Amino acid sequence: MQEALPALVLNSEALPRQSMDERTSGETNPANPSATSGISDEQLMLAFSKGSTSLVLRTRTGKVKDVLEVEEEIAPVRGEIEQMEAEQQTLEHRVTFATIDLKLAEEYKAQLSSPAPSVATQLRNATVNGFRSASESLLGIILFFAESGPTLVLWLAILFFPGWMLWRRYRRIHALGTSI
C-alpha cells in the first residue's frame, strides 16, 4: 500500500516549507516580486497537498487495515493544508501602512500694481464701518447697563439716604454760616 502512495505525502518534510514570517517579512508590497511569489508559492503548495491527498484517497484498496493506515498518514498532511490555507488568507488580507511626509511652501511674489479701490467704494466702506462701530458702541453701553445696572441701583438705594442726610446737614451748616 505504501508503494502506491506518493513519496511526498508519506514524507511531508520533503516539501520546502518556511514559516510565513520568514517568507514574507517586510514583503507585502504587491509591486515587490518576492511578495507575490510568496503568495503564489503558498497557493502552489496548497494545491499540491490537496491533490496528493485526493490521489491517495482514490487509490484505496478496500482493506480496513490499509484504509486506517492511509488515514493516519494523511492526517498530518491535512493539518498542513489547513495551516497553509490560514497563511494564504493572512497574506491576502495583509495591509501595508506608509508614512508620507509632505511639505508645501508657497512663495510670496509681490504684484507690481494692485488697483486701488475707487473713491466711491472707499466712502461707502468708511460709512459702513462708521455705522458698524456706532452700533457696536451703543450695544456695548446697553450691555454694560444691563449687566451692571442692578448692582448700581442697589448701591444707589443703600447710599441714597446717608448721602441725602449729609447733604441736608451740609446745606444747614452753610445756611447758618452765611446768616451769621
pLDDT, tens only, 30-89: 444 444 555 566 677 777 767 666 666 666 556 777 777 877 888 888 888 888 888 888
Cell output for 148: 451692571
The Cα 74–Cα 24 span in angstroms is 28
Residue 97's φ and ψ, nearest 5 degrees, are: -105, 140
Q: Tell me if 70 sits within 8 A of 60, measured CB to CB.
A: yes
Q: Tell me if 15 sits within 8 A of 54, measured CB to CB.
A: no
pLDDT of residue 53: 65
> Is 104 a residue whose pLDDT tops 80?
yes
pTM exceeding 0.75: no
pLDDT of residue 57: 62
Q: Tell me if 79 sits within 8 A of 17, measured CB to CB.
A: no
Maximum average pLDDT range among 3-12, 33-42, 111-120: 111-120
